Amino acid sequence: MLNRESVTELLTGKDSTKRKSRMPARIDFLQSASGLILAIFIMFHIVFEGSILLGKEAMYTLTKMFEGEPFIEGGEPLIISVLAFIIFSLFVLHAGVAVRKFPSSYREYQRYAEHKELLNHSDTNLWNVQITTGFIMFFLGSIHLYMMMTQPENIGPYASSDRIYSDLMWPMYLVLLISVVLHGGIGLYRLIIKWGWFDGKDPKRNRQRSRKIAKVLVTLYLLLGLASLATYMKIGYEHRDAYGERYVPGSEK
Ligand code: HEM
């Protein structure tokens, strides 16, 4: 009997089963591509945010640059909202296509756990870390991005430090930082292996090398992020009695 699909096949000459089977590969590509863009974004984000280590003036100047101050007098925080919205959309897309990899029932989880014990393979452990950090980021990443979309004017050496110290956001940032660095580092490593980017003539050796580089990068980014967070907390602590007051350019002693 003719159904809708076979009629479409007759009319278009295309095989609908073939069309269907391409979907998982497309979704897989979507996950890799969105993950890669987000990982690159985070690498820049942690470096830019580390500008606080160079002083309040450096962080203020960079914030204003992102607000388009060279072109718009005084800067336009709406630019940050738009950027945060674009990143948030990618974040949702990436998470949305990733949920299909979560164990969908307790039985499936048990099967996975047994499998993991049997294999005790380091890549299975990496997968476990990815699932856990990804789950954490669902919530914490959304809180952070929502704040950045709705209060873009509250970014700066004092505004950010007040939020981190006086508004008690530092525990959230600490957990988010560890999760995002581990997730991004492991994600990039898995992308390199999956698509064989640097396999060259000796894939085994080059994969081991990629793993080492990923470990070094994760450590460096964690140290940089922790140093920045500690600096924001110190500034926030010193500024606690003047909570809400904004940084005035050129006022740094
Ligand atoms: C366009 C989007 C984003 C903007 C404008 C932005 C901006 C900021 C700013 C200004 C801070 C300093 C603290 C504060 O003011 O509250 C910060 C910290 C942080 N952001 Fe973002 N962010 C964005 C996206 C993301 C995403 C997608 C993630 C990860 C899911 C992320 C993770 C973090 C972490 C972990 C910290 C704290 C790191 C540390 O203190 O060392 N951010 N972000």
Query: Which domains are assigned to the chain?
Result: 29-241 (1.20.1300.10)
What pLDDT does 111 receive? 73
Q: Is ligand 1 within 6 A of the CB of residue 173?
A: yes
Q: Is ligand 1 within 6 A of the CB of residue 59?
A: no
Which sign, positive or negative, has the C-alpha torsion 147, 149, 152, 155? positive
User: CB count, 10 Å around CB of 81?
Assistant: 16
What pLDDT does 168 receive? 98
Residue 157: name the closest of 243, 246, 84 by CA. Answer: 246
What pLDDT does 110 receive? 72
Taking the CA of residue 176 as reference, the ligand 1 atom at the shortest distance is: 35
User: Which residue numbers belong to the known binding site?
Assistant: 45, 94, 144, 183
Residue 192: name the closest of 2, 22, 35, 4 by CA. Answer: 35
224, amino acid identity: L
Which DSSP string corresponds to 12-27?
H---HHHHHHTHHHHH
Taking the CA of residue 147 as reference, the ligand 1 atom at the shortest distance is: 16
Residue 39 burial (10 A CB sphere; 0-12, 13-18, 19+):
middle
Taking the CA of residue 38 as reference, the ligand 1 atom at the shortest distance is: 27
What residues in the chain have per-residue pLDDT under 50? Answer: 1, 10, 12
Q: Is ligand 1 within 6 A of the CB of residue 145?
A: yes
Cβ distance 236 to 162 under 8 Å?
A: yes
How far apart are the C-alpha atoms of 64 and 176, rounded to whole Å? 25
